[in-house]
Structure formats: structure tokens, C-alpha cells
């Protein structure tokens, strides 16, 4: 017997990265060589000090039970609070203002479920990670796009949001450092956003998953550094990109008590928390942050520079990103995003993500990920550039 799936599932488009993974698998099965700049999944191993901490914690049978606190074990939350103070100069109460998460993706979904009723408006950047818009749709809400204009440094123009959308909005999603553009928010913009949230009575959901992957001495800010932010903001962090732990599914949210309480109430009805041994491994990760992060940033910066220089040698007008492990590039004349991404893959074997997968305002761009699975990272970048040079003449 075949039953139709729920209408909420019928309303949403396929998850774009699942489609990319399936296409990549098909081409590899056909024997084609792929230069994969697609999905952003760190290719470097999780640090040994994290793995060792997990091994030790897993020997303790008490870590195999439910984390009955719901918020995270006390020592994990304290390690997060210490990190927030050291890294951002932010005081966060570990007992009331931190929520352990199964990676940041689930928390981004659950914060929408916590606040959005049918007909509510959510302000969503465009282009953006698809979860913000899709989860809003699942809750029956309306995602109102905030265009990220390259002329504004990919920061939304809050004053351009119509009065009706401001009045109806419950949430505003921000994501800096930004996926897919690589932009970093200025403190001035974050202060403007906090003021906007206070004025219009909405909550800022700041996705800071890429906060530690930054270049050229840039130190991206936490929105909680802004005066008054805790009253109107929640910020989501992840170990995935900082410590090469995408499969571990561990992160946290921090912000004002009332907002954290709402997220926790939703989560308590959906999941049973993060494996406590992994929380202990997270403590080890944060305790080694200072000695670990320079090497990670240096490695990605080498790749960023190699790709940007290589594309520029083809005449490509490319700006190096200030953060994230993505490079956001315009498509050549005569193509839209999907056409160019497909042509690039078919003619040269270079796999990128069409900008339109991130929203209407992503049209005209493609995203390159610096997470390269091949053993020779820089060699792969050089080979990909040469394949384009030889097989696909471009016009700007």
C-alpha cells in the first residue's frame, strides 16, 4: 500500500546537498574524475585529543544513560561559558543561558518550532542555508527574504524591509560568517540588528557555525557582544567546522534565559540530548582551542588563496572571502547558475553548487567549498583550474 506523504513534506523542495551527493555518486560510478568543490564537509581528521577524550568518557557507564538535565551536563555548559568569556568577552550563565544541541542544524529547526505559528513571518537572508526557510514553511509560517547584496558586503538592508513584514515578524535569521558568501558582519551591523529586534519585538537567531574559520587576522564577533542582545537573540555554535566533527553532531545554543527555555521545551519533546561522552569530548575540544585553531585557519587560507589566485588567472573576478571555507563567485556571461554549474561539471569534471540552490538572490553565482577529499589539496585546486582553462573558455 502506498500512502501520500504529509502536505508539509510535499511543499518543500528536495534538500539540495542530497541531490548533489546523488549526482556525484552517479558520475563516479560512470568512471568520471570529479574535482569536488561541492558539499562543505571538513576533510581533515578530528583532533586526537578529542578522540582520546571520547574514548575515556565512553569507558564510564554513567555516560551511556540519558542526560536528564535536558540542557547539557554541568561541566560541558561551564566549558562553553568559559569559552564564550575568553573568545568573545561575553558572560553567559551556564545554568540558564546555554543549551546543548545535537549539532546546530537541529537547534535551528527547533527554534522555529518553538516560536512560529501558521501565518507568522520569519525574516530570512537570501541567499542562505535552506534550513531557515524550509523549517518556517513546515510550521506554516511565511519566509520573507532579506536580499544579501554584494554592494552592501552581503549584509541585509534592514531599513528596506516593508513595515508590514516588520510588524508580523517573530524571528530574524542571520548567519555570520555567512554561508554561502563568506561575508563577515561588522559590529555596527550587529548593533543595528539588535536595535531593530528591540524596536519590532522579534528574536534574532544567529547561526555562528563558521565563527572560527576566518582569515587574515579577522575575528568574527558574537552577536551577544552587543549591549541588549541577550534580551532578543539566541546564537548557535557547532564543533563541526572548528574541530572537524561534522559526524559527531554536537554543538550548543546560548542567549537569554527565556529564549533558551523555549528551545529546551521543544527539544525535550523531540530528542533525548547529546551522548554525554561526546559532551565530555566537547570539553576537551574547547580546552585545546587556542593551540588548535591557528593551524586549521592556516590550512584553509592556503587553499583559499590557491583557488582565488587560480580563478583570477582565468580572468575570473573573484574576491577572497574573509571567513568560512567557501568561495562565492559570479558565473560567466551567457549562463545562469544551474546551467553554468552543470556545464562546468560535464565539461571539466569540476563540481560546484549553483547559487540559486540558496535562494533567488543566489542566482548568478556558484559556491566552491575548500573541503577537498583528495590527498593532494593544493594539487587538486591547480588541476581543476587547468581543466577549466583547457576545456571551458570563459567570457566576462
**pLDDT over 70 percentage in the chain:** 98
Residue 90 has pLDDT above 90, yes or no: yes
User: What's the confidence (pLDDT) of residue 237?
Assistant: 98
Give the whole-angstrom CA distance, residue 68 versus residue 65: 8
Assigned C-alpha cell, 296: 586549521
pLDDT over 70 at 17, yes or no: no
User: What 3-state class would DSSP assign to 361?
Assistant: helix
One of 3.40.50.620, 3.30.450.20, 3.40.250.10, 3.90.1150.10 is the CATH number of 7-45+293-391, namely 3.90.1150.10
What pTM does this model have? 0.95
C-alpha radius of gyration, the chain, whole number:
21
Chain segment 62-72, per-residue pLDDT in tens: 999 988 887 89
Evaluate if residue 27 carries a pLDDT over 90.
Answer: no
Residues in the chain: 396
Q: What is the pLDDT of residues 219-255, one digit of tens each?
A: 999 999 999 999 999 999 999 999 999 999 999 999 9
Q: What was the pLDDT predicted at 68?
A: 80
Instruction: At 79, list the grid cell.
Output: 566549558
Q: Which residue has the cell 550548543?
A: 252
Contacts of 62 (CB under 8 A, 6+ apart): 276
For residue 121, pLDDT beyond 90? yes
For residue 325, give the C-alpha cell. 571555507
Please give the helix or strand (H or E) that residue 64 lies within, else none: none
The burial of 30, by beta-carbon neighbours within 10 Å (0-12 exposed, 13-18 middle, 19 or more buried), is given as exposed
Angle, helix 276-287 to helix 289-313, in steps of 10 degrees: 80
From 93, 65, 70, 72, select the one nearest 264 (Cα to Cα): 70
Residue 326 and residue 181: Cα distance in Å, rounded? 7
- Report whether 244 contacts 261 (CB < 8 A): no
Q: What is the mean pLDDT of residues 75-94?
A: 98
DSSP letter (8 states) at residue 117? -
Residue with cell 568520471: 32
Strands (E), 297-376: 326-330, 350-351, 353-354, 365-369
Considering the segment(s) 48-290 as one domain, its CATH architecture is 3-Layer(aba) Sandwich (3.40)
pLDDT of residue 15: 63
What average pLDDT does the segment 312-333 reach? 96
Q: Which distant-in-sequence residues (6+ apart) come within 8 Å of 181 by Cβ? A: 127, 148, 150, 154, 321, 326, 328
CA distance 75 to 63: 13
Comparing 7-45+293-391 with 48-290, is the CATH topology the same? no
d(CA 245, CA 227): 32
Cβ–Cβ < 8 Å for 215, 301: yes
Domain segments of the chain as ranges: 7-45+293-391, 48-290
pLDDT given at position 16: 62
Which residues does 2 contact at the CB level (< 8 Å), separation at least 6? none
DSSP for 205-241, written as a single string:
EEE-TTTT-B-TT--PPPGGGSTTGGGTEEEEEESTT
C-alpha cell at 376: 593532494
Closest to 177 (Cα-Cα) out of 310, 327, 53: 327
**How far apart, in whole angstroms, are the C-alpha atoms of residue 341 and residue 355?**
9
Torsion of CA 10, 12, 18, 19, to 10 degrees: 80
What mean pLDDT is predicted for residues 64-84?
93
CA 241 remoteness from chain centre? 9
What percent of the chain clears pLDDT 90, i.e. is strictly above it? 85
Beta strands in the chain (DSSP E): 35-36, 98-101, 121-126, 142-147, 169-175, 203-207, 233-238, 251-255, 326-330, 350-351, 353-354, 365-369
Amino acid at each position: 500500500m502506498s500512502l501520500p506523504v504529509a502536505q508539509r513534506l510535499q511543499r518543500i523542495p528536495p534538500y539540495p546537498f542530497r541531490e548533489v551527493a546523488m549526482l556525484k555518486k552517479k558520475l563516479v560510478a560512470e568512471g568520471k574524475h570529479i574535482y569536488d568543490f561541492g558539499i562543505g564537509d571538513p576533510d581533515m581528521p578530528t583532533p586526537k585529543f578529542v578522540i582520546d577524550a571520547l574514548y575515556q568518557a565512553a569507558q564510564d557507564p554513567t555516560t551511556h544513560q540519558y542526560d536528564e538535565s535536558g540542557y547539557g551536563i554541568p561541566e560541558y555548559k561551564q566549558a562553553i561559558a568559559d569559552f564564550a568569556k575568553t573568545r568573545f568577552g561575553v558572560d553567559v550563565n551556564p545554568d540558564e543561558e546555554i543549551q546543548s544541541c545535537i549539532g546546530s542544524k537541529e537547534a535551528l529547526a527547533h527554534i522555529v518550532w518553538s516560536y512560529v505559528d501558521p501565518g507568522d513571518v520569519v525574516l530570512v537572508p537570501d541567499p542562505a542555508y535552506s534550513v531557515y526557510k524550509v523549517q518556517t514553511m513546515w510550521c506554516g509560517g511565511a519566509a520573507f527574504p532579506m536580499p544579501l547584496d554584494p554592494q552592501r558586503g552581503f549584509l541585509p538592508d534592514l531599513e528596506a524591509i516593508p513595515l508590514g513584514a516588520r510588524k508580523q515578524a517573530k524571528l530574524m535569521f542571520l548567519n555570520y560568517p555567512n554561508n554561502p558568501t563568506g561575508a563577515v558582519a561588522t559590529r555596527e551591523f550587529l548593533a543595528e540588528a539588535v536595535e531593530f529586534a528591540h524596536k519590532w519585538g522579534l528574536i534574532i537567531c544567529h547561526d555562528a557555525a563558521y565563527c572560527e574559520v576566518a582569515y587574515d587576522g579577522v575575528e568574527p564577533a558574537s552577536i551577544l557582544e552587543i549591549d541588549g542582545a541577550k534580551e532578543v537573540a539566541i546564537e548557535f555554535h557547532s564543533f563541526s567546522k572548528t574541530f572537524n566533527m561534522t559526524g559527531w553532531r554536537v554543538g550548543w545554543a546560548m542567549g537569554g534565559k527565556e529564549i533558551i527555555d523555549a528551545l529546551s521545551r521543544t527539544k525535550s519533546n523531540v530528542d533525548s540530548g547529546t551522548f554525554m561522552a561526546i559532551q565530555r569530548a566537547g570539553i576537551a575540544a574547547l580546552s585545546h582551542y587556542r593551540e588548535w585553531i591557528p593551524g586549521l585557519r592556516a590550512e584553509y587560507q592556503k587553499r583559499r588563496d590557491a583557488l582565488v589566485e587560480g580563478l583570477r588567472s582565468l580572468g575570473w573576478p573573484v574576491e577572497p572571502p574573509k571567513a568560512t571555507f567557501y568561495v562565492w563567485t559570479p558565473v560567466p556571461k551567457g549562463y545562469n547558475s544551474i546551467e553554468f554549474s552543470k556545464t562546468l561539471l560535464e565539461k571539466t569534471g569540476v563540481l560546484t553548487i549553483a547559487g540559486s540552490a540558496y535562494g533567488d538572490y543566489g542566482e548568478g553565482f556558484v559556491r566552491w567549498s575548500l573541503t577537498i577529499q583528495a590527498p593532494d589539496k593544493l594539487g587538486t585546486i591547480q588541476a581543476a583550474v587547468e581543466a577549466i582553462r583547457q576545456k571551458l573558455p570563459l567570457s566576462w
